[in-house]
Amino acid sequence: METFFIKVNGYKIRCAARGKGPHLVLIHGLGGSLEWWRFNFNYLSHKYHVIAFDFLGFGYSAKPQIEFSLDLASNFMRSFLESLKLRSVSLIGNSLGGLIALYTASELGQRIERLILVDNAGFGRELSFLLRLGTLYPLGEITFYLRHFIITKLFLSRLFYDRQKLPAELVSCVLKMFESPLARKVCLRILRRGVNLGGLKKDILDPIMERASLLNQPTLIIWGRNDRIIPVVQAYRGKNLIKNSKLVVFDKCGHLPQVEKWPEVNQLILKFLG
């Protein structure tokens, strides 16, 4: 994945792009980067112009001292598409990226042709207890301070049903990303903005639930039945909320189907988009 930087609203944003055809934008989750799409990027680019990027505040993109909100994320996505001169796109988002993709689709209307949500946040308050604990001071700070390969691997393995499918290079990637104290601060700030000890905050949940019920775009919801971060019950809730939607649940799969079940997920995405 050869990367380059563009300016979006004055901020440097790291991107990767490949392929020709209709535009397809991939949005990673909390603490992620464009590398979390490495098992999908090349395959999907055979038929689509695929763009992956580090969302504002993550990876190697700029990390401004700003307060995260759904409106800010949606406005950033609008500016991002305009910077790349993309008039209409389909969006794929995982976890927090799915929440952002859903909200953006509700804001930009027909500019978003199709929507693919992968274990996305926003269909309920239920979240991993460990994630909720991370919102407490100083537990979150301590977690980021203990940056060791084994500890990071143990934490990331919770994202998988089969821990053997966690790629070692992604563990190294996460460790490298969070060498920066600013990266750790931004990630914690965004986590605490949307989550508390009770789970996803209601001022995030309520607008997403309302907007999901009004979506018109054809939507594919993909979920891992054994997701320890966001339980599969939310997948069925999302299917009931979004009128024009299809749900596919993968058995023996955790929070990252695009990594753990990448061959099946890639084929499913192309079939849906085609």
Task: Look at residue 31 in the predicted model and tell me its pLDDT.
Answer: 94
Q: What is the pTM of this model?
A: 0.97
Where does the pLDDT of residue 272 fall: very low under 50, low under 70, confident under 90, or very high at 90 and above? very high
Examine the pLDDT at 152 and tell me if it is beyond 90: no
Q: Which residues pair with 116 in a beta bridge?
A: 92, 220
Q: What is the mean pLDDT of the chain?
A: 96
Closest CA to 201 of 107, 141, 127, 97: 127
Examine the pLDDT at 72 and tell me if it is beyond 80: yes
Task: Look at residue 60 in the predicted model and tell me its pLDDT.
Answer: 97
Residues 104-121: tens digit of each pLDDT: 999 999 999 999 999 999
Alpha carbons 182 and 35: distance in angstroms, whole number: 20
Task: Look at residue 45 in the predicted model and tell me its pLDDT.
Answer: 98
Examine the pLDDT at 147 and tell me if it is beyond 80: no
Residues 9-25: tens digit of each pLDDT: 999 999 999 999 999 99
pLDDT over 70 for what percent of the chain?
100
Where does the pLDDT of residue 145 fall: very low under 50, low under 70, confident under 90, or very high at 90 and above? confident
Closest CA to 252 of 161, 168, 165, 182: 161
Examine the pLDDT at 219 and tell me if it is beyond 90: yes
Q: Does domain 3-127+201-273 have CATH number 3.30.70.20?
A: no
Residues 170-214: tens digit of each pLDDT: 999 999 999 999 999 999 999 999 999 999 999 999 999 999 999
Q: Which two tokens stand for residue 160?
A: 């998988």
Task: Look at residue 143 in the predicted model and tell me its pLDDT.
Answer: 83
Task: Look at residue 133 in the predicted model and tell me its pLDDT.
Answer: 94
Rg for the chain, CA atoms, rounded: 17
Task: Look at residue 150 in the predicted model and tell me its pLDDT.
Answer: 79
Alpha carbons 26 and 92: distance in angstroms, whole number: 5
Q: Which two tokens stand for residue 66?
A: 């700003």
Stretch 154-169: mean pLDDT:
94
